[in-house]
């Protein structure tokens, strides 16, 4: 979404464009733009269609609790699992917002979770909320202690929540994932399901707020 915003803001993608495609390592990613009202300076809402989601191995709940520094009873009775739509992520469901805020993960904690696995992973902790989910994402193996908004993991989050009946999988369902609040960078990501259980696609949307601008002189 950030890349799409820059392409639109710089005019690389013409103003008023409603759809275009980004070529990523995972393949083409469809982008949809809901234009804001120009007269009020409203930003566009940018949606991406989640690439195909793959499901991988599951992880021990007690090891996950130990790695996150929370009690075993702070985890829901749901087995943590690896999912990816291009960004390998382990999803861990916690009991409430307090547990999510109490969690922390460094590289040592990641090694506790994954054991002998060599491939790097991200770790996404969340709890169901009336509006959808309250979440945090740690990726120390990628040099990101905590990420305030992870669009590439939010589609798989939706798939994981649907599979475990933490959110409705009915076609047309919309919900939000609140992320980054604990680190002081609250972000809201929107999810829309196409088809039952997202069978026809899971779209993830968000607004982008530019916070810095740089110039490279050669």
Are 178 and 148 contained in the same domain? yes
Q: pTM of whole model > 0.95? A: no
Cα–Cα dist 22/24, whole Å: 6
The stretch 179-193 carries a mean pLDDT of 97
Structural domain that includes position 9: 2-49
Q: What pLDDT was estimated at residue 39? A: 52
Are 146 and 44 contained in the same domain? no
Q: Is 197 inside a domain boundary?
A: no
- Beta bridge partner(s), residue 93: 126
Are 11 and 83 contained in the same domain? no
Residue 41: pLDDT band (50, 70, 90) is low
Question: What is the token pair recorded at 52?
Answer: 């195909």
Region of 69 please: left (phi>0), alpha (psi -120 to 50) or beta: left
Helical pair 107-114 and 61-68, crossing angle rounded to 10 deg: 170
Q: In CATH, what number is assigned to the domain containing residue 182?
A: 3.10.310.10
Are 66 and 150 contained in the same domain? yes
* Angle value at C-alpha 42, between 4 and 22, nearest 5 degrees: 10
Are 30 and 103 contained in the same domain? no
Q: Is 113 inside a domain boundary?
A: yes
Are 42 and 128 contained in the same domain? no
Q: Is 213 inside a domain boundary?
A: no
Are 101 and 166 contained in the same domain? yes
Are 58 and 42 contained in the same domain? no
- The total number of structural domains in the chain stands at 2
> Of residues 14 and 143, which shows the higher confidence score?
143
């Amino acid at each position: 979404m950030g890349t799409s915003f820059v392409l639109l803001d710089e005019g690389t993608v013409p103003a008023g464009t409603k759809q275009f495609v980004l070529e990523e390592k995972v393949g083409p990613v469809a982008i949809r733009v809901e234009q804001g009202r120009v007269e009020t300076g409203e930003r566009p809402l940018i949606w991406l269609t989640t690439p195909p989601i793959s499901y991988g191995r599951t992880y021990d709940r007690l090891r996950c609790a130990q790695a996150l520094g929370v009690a075993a009873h702070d985890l829901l009775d749901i087995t943590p699992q690896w999912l990816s739509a291009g960004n390998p992520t382990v999803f861990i469901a916690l009991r409430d917002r307090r547990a999510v805020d109490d969690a922390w993960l460094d590289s040592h904690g990641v090694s506790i979770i994954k054991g002998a696995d060599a491939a790097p992973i991200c770790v996404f902790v969340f709890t169901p909320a009336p509006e959808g989910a309250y979440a945090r994402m740690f990726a120390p193996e990628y040099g990101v202690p905590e990420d305030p908004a992870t669009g590439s993991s939010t589609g798989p989050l939706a798939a994981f929540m649907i599979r475990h009946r933490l959110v409705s999988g009915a076609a047309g369902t919309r919900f939000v994932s609140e992320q980054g609040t604990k680190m002081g960078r609250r972000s809201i990501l929107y999810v829309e399901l196409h088809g039952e259980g997202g069978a026809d696609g899971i779209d993830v949307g968000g607004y982008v707020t530019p916070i810095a601008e740089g110039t490279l002189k050669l």
